[in-house]
Structure 1
Amino acid sequence: MNTPIQTLSDDAAAVARSLVHSTERAAQQGMDRLSDGLDDARSHTSAALKQLAQGTETLAHRGMDAVRDGACQLRDKSLHAKDVTTTYIQHEPVKSVLIAAAVGAALMGLVALLSRHGGSGR
């Protein structure tokens, strides 16, 4: 026969088991929600990183294209300057020699001035 104390003890044990079961279920649900949140955050982070990588790649390609275009423009301008200079020398050879001599003399004077100036400061 069950005594009231034993019945009370059995009821308390049943309540304790129920509480343990409820706590385990709540903990599992919390872990599931946390896992879902982490998966969601991971997918958003992954998408953001992919977007950042694509943007960086696009900027790099634009930069390379700009450098390539600049190099082509510089090459075209230097070829044009060479052609203009060649044409001028062909049409005005005496003036060209005189200009070259004047530029050479000016550079030599500048070098002499700088070498004298730099030597006295030592």
Structure 2
Amino acid sequence: MFNKKIEEPSSLADQAAQSATHAIQSTQRVANEALDSLTGSVQDLRHQASALAHRGADSVRETSQQLRDTALRASDNTLNYIKDEPIKSVLIAAATGAALMALISMMASSRDRR
């Protein structure tokens, strides 16, 4: 019981320092592994975001082109109708203009009444 050898203070300090060094190294290793994992995840997310952005841009370009094509067809159809039915076209345009003027006049008079 009393025969146990009492370790010297410098030996205890060395052991404590060595334990602290091992703990620090272990913590650094775990932190580095976590950073490596996060770096890979961030790169994966960056690639996914880039792919989504490209897909979105392609979709916008395609939709824009479809809208241009539709507007061009509507314009061509309108011009062809005007060429085929010039009198009807003028009457339709006059009626549309009169309807718009009546609507604007009604809106202006209702605003004046307030």
Correspondence for 2:92 among 89, 99, 120: 99
Higher CA-based Rg? 1
Greater CA drift, 73-82 or 41-50: 41-50
Structure 1: any 5+ residue segments left out of the alignment? 1-10
Question: What letter corresponds to residue 34 of structure 1 in structure 2?
Answer: T
> CA RMSD, aligned part only?
1.3
TM-score by length of 2: 0.90
Q: 2:74 aligns with which of 71, 76, 81?
A: 81
Which residue does 1:60 correspond to in 2?
53
Alpha-carbon distance in 2 for matches of 1:20, 1:106: 98
In the aligned structure 2, how far is the partner of 1:44 from the partner of 1:119? 69
Provide the secondary structure at the position in 1 that maps to 2:8.
helix
Deviations 1:23-79 (A, max 9, x none): 111111101001101111111111111111111111111111111011100000001
Pick the aligned partner of 1:32 from 16, 25, 40.
Answer: 25
- For 1:59 and 1:103, locate their aligned partners in 2 and report how far apart those are by CA, in whole Å: 45
Q: Name the TM-score, length of structure 1 as normaliser.
A: 0.84
Q: Does 1:19 align with 2:12?
A: yes
Query: Displaced runs of 4+ in structure 1, greater than 4 A?
Result: none
Percent same amino acid at aligned positions? 35
Aligned AA for 1:78?
A
SS of aligned partner of 1:81:
helix
Counterpart of 2:25 in structure 1: which amino acid? D
- In structure 2, stretches of 5+ residues that fail to align are none
| Cα distance between partner residues in 2 of 1:19 and 1:25 | 10
Q: CA deviation at 1:16?
A: 2.3
Partners in 1 of 2:93 and 2:102 — Cα distance? 14
